Structure 1
Amino acid sequence: MSTSRSPSVIFDLDGTLVDSEPNYYEAGRRLLAQHGVPDFTWEHHTRFIGIGTRETLEILRGEYGIEAPVDELLAGKNRNYLELARASTEVFPEMRKFVELLHSKGVPMAVASGSSRAAIEVVMAGTGLDAFIPTVVSAEEVAQGKPEPDIFLDAARRLGTGPGDCVVLEDAPPGAAAAHAAGMRCIAIPYVPATADDPAFRAAELLFAGGQGEFTARAAYDWLVAQRVSPTDIRMTPRAD
Structure 2
Amino acid sequence: MKAKALLFDMNGTMIDDMAYHAKAWYNILNDDLRAGLTYDEVKKEMYGKNDEVLVRIFGPSKFSLAEMTALSIEKEKRYQQEYLPFLKLIDGLKELLVVAKSQGVKLAIGSAAIPFNIDFVLDNLHIREYFPVIVSADDVAISKPHPETFTKAAELLGVAPEDCIVFEDAPKGVEAAQNAGMQSIVLTTMHEKEEFAQYSNVRGFIKDYTDPHLISLL
With structure 1 as the length reference, what TM-score do the two structures score?
A: 0.77
Residue by residue over 1:32-73, the C-alpha shift from the partner in whole angstroms, topping out at 9 and shown as x without a partner, is 212235x655423321354332222222334xx966743332
Q: Does 1:96 align with 2:94?
A: yes
Q: Does 1:56 align with 2:53?
A: yes
AA in 2 matched with 1:73: L
Q: Does 1:212 align with 2:210?
A: no
What is the percentage of aligned positions where both structures have the same residue?
25
Q: Does 1:8 align with 2:2?
A: no
Q: Structure 1 residues 35 and 15, CA, compared in 2 at 3 Å: closer, same or farther?
A: same
- Counterpart of 1:233 in structure 2 is none
Q: Structure 1 residues 48 and 105, CA, compared in 2 at 3 Å: closer, same or farther?
A: farther
Q: Structure 1 residues 216 and 192, CA, compared in 2 at 3 Å: closer, same or farther?
A: same
For residue 216 of structure 2, the aligned residue among 211, 214, 222 is 222
- Counterpart of 1:121 in structure 2 is 119
AA in 1 matched with 2:214: A
Shift of 1:16: 0.8
Shift of 1:96: 3.0
Shift of 1:193: 3.9
User: 8 Å contact 1:12–1:113 — kept in the other structure?
Assistant: yes
Aligned CA RMSD, in angstroms, stands at: 2.7
Max radius of gyration: which structure?
A: 1
Matches of 2:63 and 2:153, distance apart in 1: 35
Residue by residue over 1:121-160, the C-alpha shift from the partner in whole angstroms, topping out at 9 and shown as x without a partner, is 1111112332322321102211110000001011011112
User: 8 Å contact 1:50–1:171 — kept in the other structure?
Assistant: no
DSSP-derived class of the 2:105 partner = coil
Q: Structure 1 residues 54 and 212, CA, compared in 2 at 3 Å: closer, same or farther?
A: farther
User: 8 Å contact 1:58–1:70 — kept in the other structure?
Assistant: no
Number of corresponding residues: 215
With structure 2 as the length reference, what TM-score do the two structures score?
A: 0.84
For residue 196 of structure 1, the aligned residue among 194, 197, 208 is 194
User: 8 Å contact 1:97–1:217 — kept in the other structure?
Assistant: no
* Alignment map for 1:172-191 (pairs within 5 Å): 172-191=170-189
* Alignment map for 1:138-153 (pairs within 5 Å): 138-153=136-151
Matches of 1:73 and 1:58, distance apart in 2: 12
Q: Which moved more, 1:178-187 or 1:50-59?
A: 50-59
AA in 1 matched with 2:129: A
Q: Structure 1 residues 67 and 156, CA, compared in 2 at 3 Å: closer, same or farther?
A: closer
In structure 1, runs of 5+ residues without a counterpart are 225-241
Shift of 1:5: 5.7
Q: Structure 1 residues 199 and 50, CA, compared in 2 at 3 Å: closer, same or farther?
A: farther
Shift of 1:218: 4.3
